Each structure stands twice: as structure tokens, then as C-alpha cells.
Structure 1
Amino acid sequence: MKNGWYILLVLCLLNLYCLTCAAVTDVDTLQVYEPSELDLRLLDYTLSWVDTSACTEGYVIADLPDSVYIERLCALPCIVEMPYNAVVKGFIEAYLHRSKKQVARMRRLGDTYFPMFEETLMRYGLPLELKYLPIIESGLNVQARSHAGAAGLWQFMPQTAKNSGLEVNSLVDERLDPYKSTDAACRFFESLYAIYGDWNLAIAAYNCGPGNVNKAIHRAGGQRDFWQIYSFLPRETRSYLPIFVAANYVFTYADEHNICPAEPILPLAIDTIVVTRRLHLLQVAEKLDIPMNTLRKLNPQYTMDILPGGKDYTLCVPAEKAGAYICNEDSILSYRRDSLIEQRRATIDLAQRTAQNGGYTVNGVTYYKIKKGDTLSGIAKKFHCSVGQLQRWNGLKGSSIREGKTLKILR
């Protein structure tokens, strides 16, 4: 019985291996594919958000035969199909040759974000390889904003974010919150997979929307395979899945291509604190001696550096500072509160308008509308001031005045 189960297990593994590699194009029939200028512009546009100033050019990228790419893609422990063809090869080489500094930078950023992505994906029972989608969406730049208005690691549009339960207003943009936006993205993927039952189509729908994928399926005669509806999808979406496969390859095998991680960018150890009262990041920065730039990178969702309070908000700080915040929370919350937090007026009295000598007074300033027959000297006498004062208060150079004009009297 034990041997029987062993043979069955081997057969299942072989079947899984064949399914994983089912979409691999025959090496002998591979055509040379050069990503179009538009494809490369789309890739470069995302990677332009990646700061490479800390990276070096000292990497040697080795060209490999197609058989090695195929073998390595088939070896990936993935649920999502990772096929190899000329289109995928073109984007693998684009990453390796055009964007190696960005890859080095994103490898280091991945030290911060990938564990959190994986934890959330596992909680929802989703494929862990989806953690590489933010590489395509935002270049792992949590503050990335597109010309269309999408923002954050997962590039949510404002209305899609609100529909997913994210807060988007003048003070808070939770699309920029790595934790909450990742949770929202996982829930969105869950719903897309429920529609299609196919991860390739779900990934395509994440990029262009279910409506466009449904149209492509209809135009392809009901085919429900990404590569069969490929030519009916929007141009950007046609590149999206191949770039996703290429990203999985490049970030899994970066060491084999001599692409080392860049220098550390964010603190690797981060702790979160729940804050319910209104708080300015500068209060935390100055009291705990944390660079303001670091706090902004860790809390990009607070677009004006203010946690609004009134409900639970999450504050991220370097792990070694979390204890100090908890022990000194009251003093932090009261520090410079008048200038940073309480500067907004809760109530405002309306200006009172009172009549005076044919004019009216508001906030201590009297206004008089010139009537027919008025003279500057007569108005000065009426309001107990000099002609020179009236000229100075109203920018007049002579004594000529015009009916209907309003004069200011500042006494």
C-alpha cells in the first residue's frame, strides 16, 4: 500500500510538472521577439518611479539559452502558470539588460514588502507569486501615482479603493498604506478568481477590468485562455501577463544573473502602533528623534503628515522606537499641540455690520459709498479724519472722486 501511494504521488507530481510547462513554446519554433517601443515605454514608466541613486553598475548579465529559461520557469513552485515563449523572453531580457539597477533596488525594497505580501496572500489562500504584481504596477514605490489617478503599490483608482473599503480623503489616502492596500488587493483578486476560475484571466482583469476581459473572450469565440484571447485584449494587458512571468523569473533567479540587492532603503524591522487621537508626524519625529523623511516613508498614507484621530489609525515606526512611543505617548501627543494640531478654529463668529454716517462698519473698518455731490473734504469731515488720511487709506493721488466708488475709513 505504501509503494502504491508513492507511485501515485510521483504520477501526480509528473502531471503537475507537465501542466506547469504546458504553455512553453517549443524551443525549436521560438521566434525572436523584441518588445515594441510601447511595451518598453510601459515597463520604463513603472520603473521610472524606482530610485536607483544608491545602486551601482557593476553587474554582469549573462545571456542564457532558451532551454535554461524553460527549465527554471518550470521549476518555480507556482500555482499560476509560468509559460515561456518569445514574448516572455523579450521581457526577461528587458529586465536583465535595460533595468538591472531598478531590479537591484526593488530586491532591497522587497525585503520590506514581500514578507507582508506573502502573509496577506496566505491568509486569503491566494498564490504567493502574486507578490510580484506590485513590481509591475508601481515598481514597489508605495507613493507611486499614475497620470490616470491610480496610486500606491497596487495602483488603485480612487473609486475602486473606496469600493474596497479604503479611506481616501484630504488627510488620509489608504491606497498608500502598504498593509491596507494589500488586503484590499487580495480581496479584489479573490473576487476576480471567483469570476473566471483561472489565474491568468484574473490577473488580466486586474489590469484592464473584467469588462475588457469579457469582451476579449466573446471576440475569441468563447475561449477562456489568456493566450487564446491575447490579440483581443487591450495592448497594455497583452504585455501585462508576460511581464508578470518575467518578473517572477528575474526576482527568483536574480542571484544567478549576478544582480545583487542595493543598499538598505527602509528599516527592516518595523512596528505598528494604534493611535486614536489626532497626531502630527512631526510630534513623533522630534520627540523620538526619528528623521521626518523616514516617518513619511513608513506612513505615506497620511498625505498631510496628520493622523486625523476619532478612530483607530496605524502609525508605523522603526521597531526600536516603538517602546519609547508607548511609554511617552501622552507627552508626544501634547508636544507642540497648539501649533501643529489645534491651529484650526472650531467656531468662528460672523463679522457684524453696523451702520455709521451713511456707511457701514465691519471688523473695525468703515466703508462709505460715494454719493452724488460728495467731496473728499466733506467725507473727511463726516468721519472725523483728514483728506490726506482718506487718500492714503484708498490709494488716491488727488481729490477727485467718483460716484459709486467705495472708500475705506480706518478709524
Structure 2
Amino acid sequence: MEVQELVQQAKRQWGEGKAHEAITLLTRARALLSSDGAPSTPDPGRRRGQLLEDLEALLDELAGIRAMHVTPFEGEASLVSPEDVTALEEAVPPAEKPELPSYIPLEIRHEVQAYIELFTTKKRELTGEALERSGRYLPLMRKIFADKALPEDLVNLAYIESAFKLYAYSRARASGIWQFIKGTGRKYGLKIDWWVDERRDPVKATAAAAHYLADLYAMFESWPLAIAAYNAGEGKVLRAIKRQGTTDFWKLHLPRETKYYVPAFMAMTLIAKNPEAYGFQRPSEESWQLDQVALSQQTDLRLLAKAVGLSTEELRDRNPELNRLVTPPQEGYLLNLPPGSKAVFLDALDRLVQARGPSWRQHRVRPGESLSTIAQRYGTTVAVLMEMNHLENPHHIRAGTPLNVPVPALTLAETSTTKQTTNNRPASHYSLYVVKPGDSLWEIARTHRVSSKDLERWNDLQGSLIHPGRTLLIYLD
């Protein structure tokens, strides 16, 4: 497929709201263009280097929109679903597979066999994809569980919870590989705020899950009951035991989802122990290795990506807890880097232009302004402004009220020299505008009562071409 065709497909996908697919297509285009056998472009006068540069810029801008205003979202990802009930009730028990040793009793009951049948037939593709994804995290998780003296088979709960998707997000607002809701996540030490959501960090979330499962086992002294409580909550299981007078999981009347959750876990554990016996490929396991650097200040992720020689998406993939395109404001935030890259990163970062200004500024509400118009002016959303300023109602703001508004750190970094040489205007007299689909430089200039040439000069533009997601610096009168 030609590079230009991939780019056009990516633009269509982006227009349909399919950010992940668009970025994947652009990444393929970049790889094709970088290869020795890359096809020639339709425009012979355009050098491959320029096309590569344009692709990199477009990838960064799309990643910027995605990271500043929306967290990557993979939706429901559990291997267990309500539709399983019919399949389980109609299932014919398959021939038994040999039971393998386990610290957790794996009972080969009809429900377990039915789930094995489901995972190897109707849900075969989903199961295979989950096994493939798991290889990146299994060694890390086993070590964390071993350090807590927990059975390593418990790592297989992650297949049932999220199919090993970092950005899995359920209807119950549970997030991450281990599907913590906010309350339980915070109870077990996970930080969840405007800047980060540690439920998506595989190290921190796995440590929290291990702690939670250890507490549940101490409470119930039974792994089937502890696993059921991980799904339904300890309160629901305790009430069922008290009401029904039994601690036998198989005799308890529990919600249907929980009743099938434990057999699903047992089925997936049997498959994970010997995937080849069920026609799956064993996961290719990777040693979990990262370098970490303590940052001295809040910094834009795109600037950091440049310092380590990665795309913004690649660096974010190593730091999935980040909600925004900037690191949190506190000093000493630990950034994850590829192994062996710390020295190169520190040297490069030291030579790059640093973000000197704050990552937010104060805006005093003027008569007639609303949160919507303020959000548009600063290239953000009403929801972000409400969260940053602890507002409960978007309509209850008064003229004269000071509001904190976000300012992308990279824009401050890239324009720090421009500000001091352009019309001698002080840095405080400017606004930031995020380009939207369909915008033109002329329309933006007219709206802000400046000239197109000024916008080109202030933002180091080579002509009037702009892409959605680009943040423009606009000096105010």
C-alpha cells in the first residue's frame, strides 16, 4: 500500500474518531517510508526526508490531541461477558484435559469445562490475543506475587479482568489491567487525579492487586471465595455466607456474574499453564526492564520523547499512568524510559530548550465569558477547567473570578525565544489556540484580530498549512 494512501486512510479514521487506528496507519506509513524499498511518492519533487518530517509532525500532533484531551480508551475488555450464560448453559462438556499442579485448587467442574470450550471456540481469537499481550507483563507480575508469598496462578485473573489491556475501562468505571474502581484503588495506594491514574501502571496496579488479594484470602481463608470477592466485593460475599450459612463457594448463591467468574478464572488458568494443549501459542515473555529518571520540573511529554529518541506514543506506552501530555507538577516525578537510555536522555534533555514557564496560568473571568468560551480560548475543555478549579456547576462562574487554565509546556519551551523578540510584548499578553479540523490560518487570524503573517511568524510556520491539534501562540492587543 502506498504511503499517500495510508495517510489518507489515517485522516479518514481520525475524522471518524478512531484515534488509535489513525495513529497505527501513520506509524505504518512512517515505517514504509523509512524502509529501503519504499515506493516513490506521487510528487517527484518532494524529498523522502520532507515527507518523513511531515509524518513525524502529524503523528506528534495527533498524539498530542489524544493525550491532552482524552485518555486512550479500550472499553470493556474482560474475557467474561453476560452473553456467556447462554453458551455455558447449552455447552456440552468436552473431554477433560489433564489437571496441572496449582497452589489454587482447580476443580474440573461442568462450568470450568464449559468455559474452556468457550475460550477455545467462540472466544478463541480474543483469548489468543490476550495470551499474546500477556507476555510483556507475566514475569513482572509473577515476581510481585511471589514477593507477597501469593500463588503465581493469581496472575491469570488479569486475563479475566482486562485481557491484559492497560487502558481497559468498564461500565462500572473500573480501569487498568486489574480493573480497580477509584475507591478500592485509592485504598490500596494508587494515585488517581487530573495528572495520573496509577490503575493503568502495570507495576503499581499489580502491587495493589497483590495486596488486595492477600487481604481477601486472610478474610475468607479460601481462594475461590477470595477470587469471588475480588469480583463482587467482600461485603457481598460476606453477606451471602452469613445469610446462607456456608463457606463452600460452589454452594453459595451469588450474583450470576460472580458465580461464573471463578470457573472462568480456573478455565483460563488451565489454558495458560499449557496453551499448546488447547491449540494456542505460548506467550513470548519479556523481562520487565526500565530506566527511571526523576524530573526536576513539570515537562511536556513531546519534549521528553525527543530527548530519548522516541515518538510521543512510544514514550507514553512506557508511562501509561499519565493522563495528560505533560508530567505532573511535583518535583521528582519518576519517568519510565527504555533500558540503557538514561545517560543519553539526560544529556539530550540538558541540551534541549527547557520549559521555563508554568504549565498553567491564571485567567480572570471577564463579563460575558463562560467556561465554554474560556475553554475554547485556551484549547482545552469545560471538564478540564471544572476539575482544575474544583467547580461543581459550569454555569456558576462570576466576572472577576480567577481560574487556573492549562498551558502546554512544550509551546512555552518552543516559543520562549520568540516571545522576547516579537513586538517586545510581555509573555503574559498571549493566548493559546488548539487548531480544530476545518480551521484555516486566515480564519483563526480574523477571529483573534491579528494577521496571518503574524501567526506564521509567532509560531515559526513555513506558510499557511496547519494541522488539527497544533497549539498556536497568539499575542493579544
TM-score range, shorter chain: 0.5 to 0.7
State yes or no: 1:242 paired with 2:263: yes
C-alpha distance 304-236 of structure 1, shift in aligned 2 (>3 A): same
- Counterpart of 2:358, as a letter, is E
Q: How does 1:88-127 map to 2 (within 5 A)?
A: 88-127=112-151
Q: CA contact under 8 A between 1:121 and 1:127: conserved in structure 2?
A: yes
Q: CA contact under 8 A between 1:111 and 1:268: conserved in structure 2?
A: no
Q: CA contact under 8 A between 1:96 and 1:250: conserved in structure 2?
A: no
Q: 3-state DSSP class of the match of 1:306?
A: coil
Tell me, which stretches of 5 or more residues in structure 1 are unaligned?
A: 1-34, 44-62, 353-361, 363-410
Q: CA contact under 8 A between 1:270 and 1:316: conserved in structure 2?
A: no
State yes or no: 1:273 paired with 2:292: yes
In the TM superposition, residue 343 of structure 1 has moved relative to its aligned partner by 4.8
Q: 3-state DSSP class of the match of 1:145?
A: coil
Tell which deviates more after alignment, 269-278 or 244-253: 269-278
In the TM superposition, residue 209 of structure 1 has moved relative to its aligned partner by 0.7
Q: How does 1:68-83 map to 2 (within 5 A)?
A: 69=97, 71=98, 73=99, 75-76=100-101, 78-83=102-107
Q: CA contact under 8 A between 1:39 and 1:239: conserved in structure 2?
A: no
What is the TM-score normalised by the length of structure 1? 0.63
Paired-residue identity, %: 27
Q: CA contact under 8 A between 1:269 and 1:318: conserved in structure 2?
A: no
In the TM superposition, residue 254 of structure 1 has moved relative to its aligned partner by 1.3
The residue aligned with 2:167 is 143
The residue aligned with 1:38 is 82
The residue aligned with 1:164 is 188
Q: How does 1:22-33 map to 2 (within 5 A)?
A: none
Q: Deviations over 1:269-327 (max 9, x none)?
A: 64131424312221122222212222222211101122214254332222243342244
Q: CA contact under 8 A between 1:220 and 1:228: conserved in structure 2?
A: no
How much is the aligned-residue C-alpha RMSD, in angstroms?
3.1
Q: CA contact under 8 A between 2:93 and 2:110: conserved in structure 1?
A: no
The residue aligned with 2:324 is 304
Q: Deviations over 1:52-92 (max 9, x none)?
A: xxxxxxxxxxx99634x2x2x2x23x211100011001101
Tell me, which stretches of 5 or more residues in structure 2 are unaligned?
A: 1-78, 368-399, 401-476
C-alpha distance 351-136 of structure 1, shift in aligned 2 (>3 A): closer
The residue aligned with 2:208 is 184
Query: For 2:171 and 2:197, how far apart are their aligned partners in 1?
Result: 17
Q: Deviations over 1:31-61 (max 9, x none)?
A: xxxx998352899xxxxxxxxxxxxxxxxxx
The residue aligned with 2:248 is 225
- Counterpart of 1:120, as a letter, is I
Q: How does 1:47-58 map to 2 (within 5 A)?
A: none
- Counterpart of 1:295, as a letter, is L
Query: For 2:182 and 2:122, how far apart are their aligned partners in 1?
Result: 32
Q: How does 1:301-340 map to 2 (within 5 A)?
A: 301-331=321-351, 334-335=353-354, 337=355
In the TM superposition, residue 162 of structure 1 has moved relative to its aligned partner by 1.4
Q: 3-state DSSP class of the match of 1:319?
A: coil
Q: CA contact under 8 A between 1:288 and 1:325: conserved in structure 2?
A: yes
Q: 3-state DSSP class of the match of 1:330?
A: helix
C-alpha distance 247-42 of structure 1, shift in aligned 2 (>3 A): farther
C-alpha distance 348-156 of structure 1, shift in aligned 2 (>3 A): same
- Counterpart of 2:344, as a letter, is A
Which of residues 261, 275, 281 in structure 2 aligns to 1:260?
Answer: 281
The residue aligned with 1:66 is 95
Q: CA contact under 8 A between 1:269 and 1:319: conserved in structure 2?
A: no
In the TM superposition, residue 215 of structure 1 has moved relative to its aligned partner by 1.9
C-alpha distance 89-267 of structure 1, shift in aligned 2 (>3 A): closer
The residue aligned with 1:402 is none
Which of residues 102, 108, 113 in structure 2 aligns to 1:84?
Answer: 108
Query: For 1:350 and 1:98, how far apart are their aligned partners in 2?
Result: 56
C-alpha distance 89-327 of structure 1, shift in aligned 2 (>3 A): same
Query: For 2:86 and 2:180, how far apart are their aligned partners in 1?
Result: 17
Query: For 2:190 and 2:86, how far apart are their aligned partners in 1?
Result: 27
* The structure with more radius of gyration: 1
In the TM superposition, residue 173 of structure 1 has moved relative to its aligned partner by 0.6
What is the TM-score normalised by the length of structure 2? 0.55
Q: CA contact under 8 A between 1:270 and 1:317: conserved in structure 2?
A: no
Q: 3-state DSSP class of the match of 1:316?
A: strand
Q: Deviations over 1:362-398 (max 9, x none)?
A: 9xxxxxxxxxxxxxxxxxxxxxxxxxxxxxxxxxxxx
The residue aligned with 1:387 is none
Q: Deviations over 1:228-285 (max 9, x none)?
A: 21xx1111100110000011011222122332268x8x98664131424312221122
Q: CA contact under 8 A between 2:189 and 2:208: conserved in structure 1?
A: yes
Q: Deviations over 1:6-33 (max 9, x none)?
A: xxxxxxxxxxxxxxxxxxxxxxxxxxxx
The residue aligned with 1:130 is 154
Query: For 1:42 and 1:275, how far apart are their aligned partners in 2?
Result: 52
Q: Deviations over 1:156-206 (max 9, x none)?
A: 111211121211111111111111111111111111111111111111111
Q: CA contact under 8 A between 2:106 and 2:266: conserved in structure 1?
A: yes
Q: CA contact under 8 A between 2:162 and 2:168: conserved in structure 1?
A: yes
- Counterpart of 1:196, as a letter, is F
